[in-house]
Structure formats: structure tokens, C-alpha cells
Structure 1
Amino acid sequence: MFQAVPGSRTLRQTTGALGAVALMALGAAPAVADDATPELVLGEIAPVTGLKPGNSFDVPVSFTNTGTEALGKVWLSYSLTQGLSHTELPSNCARYEVGSFDEAPSYSYAICEFDQSVEPGVVYAPETSQEFKALGKAYTDALRVAVAVDDPTPSEGVDEGPVPGTGPAVKLVERPDATPAAPGSGEHEGWDAADVPVQAVNTADFQVTGAQLKGKVGETLSFEVKFTNAGPAWVRRESGSGATKVVVKMPAGTTVTKAHGFCDKIATRTYECGTSQAWVDPGAGERYDFKLRIDKAVAGAEGSVKLAGEPRPFDENTANDTAAILLDVAGSGGSTGGGSADGGGSTGSTGGGDATATPSDDSTDGGGSTSSTGGSGTGGSSSVDGDLASTGSSSTLPLAGAAATAVAVGTGAVLVVRRRKIRQ
């Protein structure tokens, strides 16, 4: 997901699964014209917990210039994950909306410029704390605060902005009651950042949809099963992991000739499927397409689709965590299974009810794959011959390149790297 600033001082207090989750990456510190080394150190910022959607909150921010010379200008920036929003910004601030890419979700980014002297050894803070709001989809969110001696305006990946603030301009004021950071305690030249977990009380309904298949012995059927987050919250996991896992078990008497690219074979006719990203928005999810050859009619045979993976304390509706894959083999006296293909008792599923398969011209050679058209991304397919192991990789996909975003303080450059699939 989001990558921490390389070598940054992350928040010492953390809650839940967030830990030291970061919102964006800052590059190497900018060069300075003289031998003096400007050092900025943020004060400690406590995590935010217990929010409800619609609540507003502020985060007091302070910092010290631990260098030896006064600074003529500094910038404070606030980055928010998509479950949070900025409220009215001062006129010396501007907001940017940055789109999702690689393992990073979209985020909202506000930059405030303070054109005033910042003396060494003095604690400063904005005269008014910036306010934020928890949106209806807030859950495991985060705020990143950064202070820098150079303009961190992003130059790439911006969907909207700059949008100037409309409120009264805010100045920095001295905080004589606060203890300044010690000289030389800065970890970076010209900037510092802290990552603040923001936890809201919310739910998200993860659900699966099965399929109803119909064909005759020897035919190969193309069909899909679905995973959907019916909301209202979005769910964000650690970078490098999937939003969830889905286990798909095919009915007896069949052979998978083509499996979705996010799915790996873990047992006979059984596949574990991941997601394209470490987060899933409300109303989004994945579609997993398969090709299945009917080898013989087996009385009572029935497949299933089940949610698996990490615990889901946010999901209070477990009735739709499992769905059936029903197979009606022509000439065998009707369906071989008697369950429900839509997960039973599900509400708000974007996938709807049954998925009816159609015969395919492909047979045991696997043929071409029908690509996924839903969810957060699409994947290729891997061929499977009988009960031999899937030719796909294991369910744990190493992520090549941990950093999703690098916004260089001083240049504002955002390095956009190629989107990769997360199959965990």
C-alpha cells in the first residue's frame, strides 16, 4: 500500500493493524546552497480513535527548527487516505487530489505555505489547528503530516488541484510552553514526517457469489464467481497483502482447464484467489473466471465459494461469506447440488444472483482465457491439466519494489511505477 518515508521517524504510538502505515513517500532531502544544515523535527502526534462517520477532528501539529540558522519559509502538508477529507483550508494552503497507482490508493493532499522567519531552538505551531472529517466509508485510515524547507507540491499523478483554500490565512506562532527538540535530533536534512493512524467505528460487508452451471459430459463451461465489498466502509490492509482471500472448490466429476490469474491451486479442484490490491472500496471487488470441463455426472456433487484469509472484525454479516457452485449435468436427473449460488441471505451484492455458464469450444487443452472484467483489476489465467498442480505461482506473491510513491520534498516529483497485481 503506502510506503513510509525512507528512514523517517514514524509515529511511536500505533493502534490496531495500522502500525506505522504511511500515506506517501518522500524522496531524498533537497540540497541546500550553504554549509548550514536545516533540520526540522515534528512534535509527537497521538493516534485518532473512536471516530464515527461524519465526525470532525483536528490534529495539533508543532515542530522545531533544530538547525543553527533561521529559516525564511517552511511548508506544512497533510495527506489523507480516502476515508477522510479536508474541511475548509486557510488561503495560504492548497489541496490536491492524487489518483491511485501501484500499491497506493488515492489520497487527498493539502500543502500550507508559511512565509515567515522560523528561528532555531523555538517550537512553532499553526495558530489554528487544521480540521479534518471522517467520511461515510472511513475505517482504517491514516493522516500523514510533514514539514519541509522546500515546496513539496506534487508534479505528477494529480487528478485535481491546486484548489486554493478559502479561509483566513493562518500564521505560525511560537509555543513557549512546549519543549523544543534537541539540536541535532533531526533525522533528515530539511524535512520531517509523522504517520498518524485514524480509526473509525464502521462496518464493511464482504460477500461472495457462486454460480449455476449446466451442460453435458465432455463439455467445457466458462463461468465466473465474485467477491464484493458491499460497504459501507472501505478496507485497507498492509502493503503487499491482498484485501482478502477467496477459496473456490469445484464440484466432483469436473476438471478446471483454465483458472483465473489471481488464483492458485491448493488441492484437488480447489483454488485460493487473491485480490489485485491491498484495499477494496465499497461496491468494488473481484471477478474470478474459470473454465470447467464436465468429466462425468456425480450424484450430490456441489462446489463452493468461501471467504478466507485475514480476520474480518468489520464484517458483521457472515451469512453471505459462502456461496454454492451448482452443476446440472444433462441426462443425470437434474442439478447435482442443492445449495444457493448467491451466498444466501446476502443484501446489496453488486454481483446479483446466479451466474449461468455457457458451453465453451475449448476442451482439455485449456483454450483461451476470458479475462476478468470486474473488481479492482484484471488478471490472466493459468492452465491446469486434470489434478496436476496449477502452473500459476504460489498464493504468496513477492512484491517487487516496496515503494509505491516517492514525492520528493523540494521537487514534488511523484514516481509512478507500473501497477502490479497482488495475488495474496
Structure 2
Amino acid sequence: MRSALRPTAACVAAAAIGIGVPVFAVPVAHADEASPDLVVSALPSAAPKPGEVYDRSVTVTNKGTAPAHGFTFRIRLTRGLDFPQHADGCVYSTIADQVRQALCKVDTVIDPGASVTAPVRFKALPKALMEAVEYGTSPTGETPTGGFDDSYRRLALTADSTADLLAQGDLAEGGPGSRVTVTATLRNDGPGWIRQQEGDDQPALKVRIPSGTVAVEVPADCAPFGTDGPTGPSAPGHSTYVCAPADHTIDADQFLDYGFVLRIAKNAKDTRGEVTVSSVHGVRPAFDKNPANDTAYLNVDVTGGGEPGTGTSGGTTTGGGSGAGGSGTGGRGNDPHGRTTGGSGATGTTGTTGGTGTSGGTGTAGSASGTAGSASDTSGTAGSDGILAATGSDGMPLLAGAAVGATAIGGLALWAVRRRTTGK
């Protein structure tokens, strides 16, 4: 005997459901007791485009020895999916992690060996990407209470869409021995929201600390990075980190900021590190079709501490007096952004004797000569901009069926991670 159910609506799945959850604890019937045993068929996979409606049916079969006097059919959808409409006999709600749920009471009696069909319908939202659907009942027809088995199933699907992750860097300046803060940012320009439903290669940001600096305070969500993944909990002093949100989720139009406190070495020069869109295991996400914005830089301009006459480290040494026709020249170089900076010292007037001029360091004004003999300006600040070339760096969902990766991101929260949206 086969009877039809009224259409049910699909509902959004709760994040983190199915991670380490035991399989249903099915009531055990004694040998002389008859009981129903409901089994639900599997939904076919799909890759819906945003706006498309998925409309399929599953079969609920009683393989037990007693009739099932009605049953509860539950559907859960992740946040990129929704119900196209509400069906009679179903109660709809939004539960944890933006999961939408439908609980549908079906009064049909299913005798042993008989089946009924249950429609499962949902639509893909504009932000749909990595999604999952839970659907079914329990062996006895009651509301599901545990993991997945033949009565309650899970379908992971990837919508026909993309998400554009991009990296943003920062610029700071400070003297040798000082501490500066730089912020590495991971941004999702959408349209899809991101949480890896199948596997542990969660989206992340790889951060290479600028050479000549040491990370002395590190965000709790940033772990030291080894050859192909995290090597332990958050800790200062490493050259490369991988940063990922603790819930492994990045919504569309969301920013994740990771602040690092760096100590500048006493002999450091202008330097920069690198931030790169990645995953917790160093793999570029396949859903991101725009690699052009995957890399940015953490620039540190070091002020003071320059060698005489070079205008090193952003200490601006300009000038030097001169006799008639004489001139003094400051330092010239490239900053970490690739800009050519620095300039010539001003041409002095008739020189008189003088001392050295310093600006934030020891840059001594160059001597100048003219018809009146050598002279130096007592008030000169050496070199014009005096920024040297960069020297580089030394090193560097819902319902989740698989365990979310062992990112080993923990430790003391030395620096807060900010999570914000663009307000789109």
C-alpha cells in the first residue's frame, strides 16, 4: 500500500550538527514485541543556482513488524537555503546558527512493508554556496534526536555560485626597539557565505611576520603555521601564522580583523610581511575565482637609527649648508609600497661652520663645499624622505558531517579578533 503525503517545506540546517554526534539510540524491542522501523530514501544531489528551487521526494518505508501510526518528518537547511512556501501541518522556526527548521506531523498509518512519499522543497538564496540539508524521521516515527542513519539523512551540496575572499594589509611605523600594531584582514566580498561542509580545509588567512620584527602578541584565532597546516595553539614568536574564525564561518560582506603586536629589532630597517588568502592547510579555496586580490602586505616603516649621511629609516635628513655653488644631498630609496622616495638636499647659501643635524636618529648632514670653503648647517635635517627599499621577510555549518579540521587554534586571547560587516 502506498499513500501520498502533503507537500512539506524544506528547512535550514543547524551548523555543527553531526559533528561527533552519536547515531540514533533506537529503542530495542524484545524478541516477542512488534515495532515499526521507518527507513527514508536518499535525496539526489544537486548544484542549484541562486534563486532556483529544489523539488524532490523521498520514500518513507516501514521495514518493521508493526504499523507506524503517523510520524514526524523534519527538514533542516543551512543559511544559504530557505523554504519557498509553508505547508499545512508543518511548524517552521529558525534555530541556532541561522538554521531554518520545519517539523511536519503526518497522521498516515504505514503498515509493515508499506511506503509513503514525502516531498522535500527548498530554494537557494543569493548567498547560497556550501550548504547541507537534513531530512527524515526516527525509526519509530518520533522526532529525530541524534545523528544520521537510514531514517534521518543529510545531503551536502554546493550551489552553482562563488565567493570572493580577499586579503587586506596594514602600515605602521615605529623606532627600533618599539612595539607597533598591524592588522591583517580577511574579507568575503560574496556573493556566497562560506563554511566548508565536507572536510576540514576551512577558509583562513596566512600571515607572514615582517623580518626584523617579532610577534609578541598574537590573536587567539591565529596558530603557528608549518609546512601544510597549524603546528600548535596560538603563541608569540613564530614567523608565519594561519588565522581562521573559531566557528569556521565567514558570511558574505564580512570582515575578520587579526591584530598582531610586533616588536621592532634594534637594527631593523623598513620591512614588510605578507597576508594571503588560504585555508587552514595552506590551499587556495577552489570556490574563489578571483586570485588578483588574494595577497596584501604588512608594512613597517622604521624611524630613526640611520647611518650618517644616508637618511636611513625615515629619519628625514635634508640639507647641509654650502659655500657658493655647493650642495648637500640626502638619502633616496624605495618604500615597501614600491614608491620612489627621498630627494636632494637643499642647495645652501654661503656656508658657515656648523655641527650635525639629526632627526629621530643619527643621520648626520653631509658636508658641502664652495668658494668660501667647507661648511655644514647647524639646523639641517638630513636627507628628504629617506625611506629605504623593503627587505622582505624571513618565513612566513551548519550541519557538518565531517569533523571540522584540527586547526589547533587556541591559547590566550592576547589580541581581540574583530568581526564586522560592510552593512550591505
| TM-score scaled by length of structure 1 | 0.61
**Residue 97 (structure 1) shift:** 0.9
Pairing 1:205–2:203 present: no
How many residue pairs align between the two structures?
292
2:143 corresponds to: 152
Pairing 1:320–2:326 present: no
Aligned pairs for 1:349-364 (under 5 A) are: none
Determine if contact 1:326/1:339 at 8 Å carries over to the other structure: no
Determine if contact 2:254/2:420 at 8 Å carries over to the other structure: yes
Determine if contact 2:144/2:152 at 8 Å carries over to the other structure: no
2:40 corresponds to: 42
Select 1:306's aligned residue among 276, 290, 296: 276
Determine if contact 2:213/2:268 at 8 Å carries over to the other structure: no
Pairing 1:114–2:86 present: no
**Residue 266 (structure 1) shift:** 4.1
2:247 corresponds to: 277
Determine if contact 2:137/2:143 at 8 Å carries over to the other structure: no
1:124 corresponds to: 116
Counterparts of 2:51 and 2:221 in 1: how far apart (Å)? 36
Pairing 1:290–2:254 present: no
Counterparts of 1:264 and 1:153 in 2: how far apart (Å)? 37
Counterparts of 1:368 and 1:99 in 2: how far apart (Å)? 25
**Residue 140 (structure 1) shift:** 1.9
Determine if contact 1:78/1:144 at 8 Å carries over to the other structure: yes
Deviations 1:10-32 (A, max 9, x none): xxxxxxxxxxxxxx877423577
2:87 corresponds to: 90
Determine if contact 1:297/1:329 at 8 Å carries over to the other structure: no
Which secondary structure state, in structure 1, belongs to the residue aligned with residue 202 of structure 2?
Answer: coil
Paired amino acid for 1:132 = F
Deviations 1:288-311 (A, max 9, x none): 121111113544622111122334
Paired amino acid for 1:36 = A
Q: 1:227 to 1:269 in 2, by over 3 A?
A: same
Aligned pairs for 1:340-419 (under 5 A) are: 369-374=414-419
Identity of aligned residues (%): 26
Which secondary structure state, in structure 2, belongs to the residue aligned with residue 319 of structure 1?
Answer: helix
**Residue 57 (structure 1) shift:** 1.6
**Residue 330 (structure 1) shift:** 1.5
Segment drifting more, 226-235 vs 284-293: 284-293
Which secondary structure state, in structure 2, belongs to the residue aligned with residue 307 of structure 1?
Answer: strand
Paired amino acid for 1:255 = V
Counterparts of 1:137 and 1:263 in 2: how far apart (Å)? 27
Pairing 1:259–2:239 present: no
1:139 corresponds to: 129
Which secondary structure state, in structure 1, belongs to the residue aligned with residue 274 of structure 2?
Answer: strand
Determine if contact 1:5/1:26 at 8 Å carries over to the other structure: no
Counterparts of 2:197 and 2:220 in 1: how far apart (Å)? 22
1:337 corresponds to: 336
Counterparts of 1:249 and 1:204 in 2: how far apart (Å)? 24
**Residue 202 (structure 1) shift:** 0.6
Paired amino acid for 1:41 = V
Q: 1:279 to 1:372 in 2, by over 3 A?
A: closer
Q: Which runs of 5+ in 1 are unaligned?
A: 7-23, 101-105, 155-186, 341-366, 377-424
**Residue 131 (structure 1) shift:** 2.4
Counterparts of 1:297 and 1:207 in 2: how far apart (Å)? 33
Determine if contact 2:271/2:301 at 8 Å carries over to the other structure: no
Q: 1:88 to 1:306 in 2, by over 3 A?
A: same
Paired amino acid for 1:263 = C
Deviations 1:136-160 (A, max 9, x none): 0111212111123454288xxxxxx
Cα root mean square deviation, aligned: 3.2
Q: Which runs of 5+ in 2 are unaligned?
A: 1-14, 227-237, 305-311, 315-333, 340-411
2:195 corresponds to: 236
Largest Rg, 1 or 2: 2
Counterparts of 2:264 and 2:208 in 1: how far apart (Å)? 14
Paired amino acid for 1:338 = H
